[in-house]
Amino acid sequence: MRPDVVTFWHGPLDALRLLCLRSQVAAGHKVTVYSFDPLAGLPDGVGNAEAEAILPRAFSERLRPPQPDGSWRDWTLLQFSDFFRMRLMAQPTVADDVRLWLDADVLLLKPAAIDPAKPYFAWERPRQLGNSVLYLPPGDPIVAAFEALMKQDELTPDWLSLRHRLTFAMRKLRGGSRRLSDIRVAIFGPAALTALAHRAGELHYALPKKSFYAVHAEPKLFFERSDFSALINDPDIIGLHISPKGRGNTQPVAGSLYAWAAEKFGS
């Protein structure tokens, strides 16, 4: 099944992410970006939906207080999106309405086909799943665990590793932050998904790393001039999670994979 693609964004979209959204449409997916404020300049074929209906903006204050002007600080955006994608997975669907989460910086090279009865994710690195590409079927125990977590006054997962428990305890003893969200940016992201997939016996569903994360840890393979023919011709590579790290509005370098993508999907 070719699912609908969904994601969340807060603030203006940069050129790279607009390019990635176009690639998702070009692959034949219906694409929807959820946001709290209307997003201008979305590519043709990309819809914009109200995020408040899925997860209220006020939830962000449970992660950390906003800036005096109301804007989010530090890791709030990343962690809020970790909860948002799980809340999307928990939303009831109608027949043939299956939602696949893709981060806005996932460049699709071909359609992503899923089995609605099975989880869909991939290894990001050894022993850790990525959550930039995610589908979980209705009633999946990973979704249920996040739903239970969000009902707590304190967002402290029962799946937290011993290392993170000790880190959190020591920080509190030393008078540091008493918010678990402050001990690690990805505390509710890939580490949580991996722990829960292990607990649910679902790790065997994970696709190989190269399915979506062939350039994730080496962004120079995307942004710098190189021979990228092996990447775009490998039948097992479905897409590329870019992780631009501040380079979302840089001009593509001639001879780079970025330049190839910009020409193929429009800049």
DSSP category for residue 7: E
pLDDT of 21 > 70? The answer is yes
Q: How many domains does the chain have?
A: 1
Q: Most distant CA pair in the chain: distance in Å?
A: 54
What's the number of CA atoms in the CB half-sphere (13 Å) around residue 32? 14
Helix extents (H) in the chain: 15-26, 76-90, 141-150, 162-173, 190-199, 220-223, 229-233, 257-265
Mean pLDDT, rounded, of the chain:
93
Q: Does residue 94 carry a pLDDT above 80?
A: no
Give the pLDDT confidence of 231-257 residue by residue, as tens digits.
999 999 999 999 888 899 999 999 999
Answer positive or negative: Cα dihedral of 220, 223, 224, 228.
Answer: positive
On the question of pLDDT at 96 being above 70, the answer is no
Confidence of residue 70 (pLDDT cuts 50, 70, 90): confident
Helices marked H in 9-75? 15-26
Q: What stretches of 40-102 show up as alpha helix (H) in DSSP?
A: 76-90
Tokens 């880190």 locate to 167
- CA–CA separation, 32 and 148 (whole Å): 26
pLDDT average, residue stretch 37-63? 96
Tokens 């990001």 correspond to 124
DSSP-derived secondary structure letter, 152: S
Give the domain CATH number at 71: 3.90.550
pLDDT tens, position by position, 212-229: 999 999 999 999 999 999
Specify the higher pLDDT residue, 78 or 245. 78
* Cβ–Cβ < 8 Å for 64, 73: yes
**pLDDT band at residue 95 using 50, 70 and 90 as cut-offs:** low
pTM of the entire predicted model: 0.93
pLDDT for 161 equals: 81
Q: Which two tokens stand for residue 183?
A: 């001990």
Q: What domain range is 191 assigned to?
A: 4-265
Report pLDDT for 267.
64
State the Cα–Cα distance between residues 27 and 220, nearest whole angstrom.
24
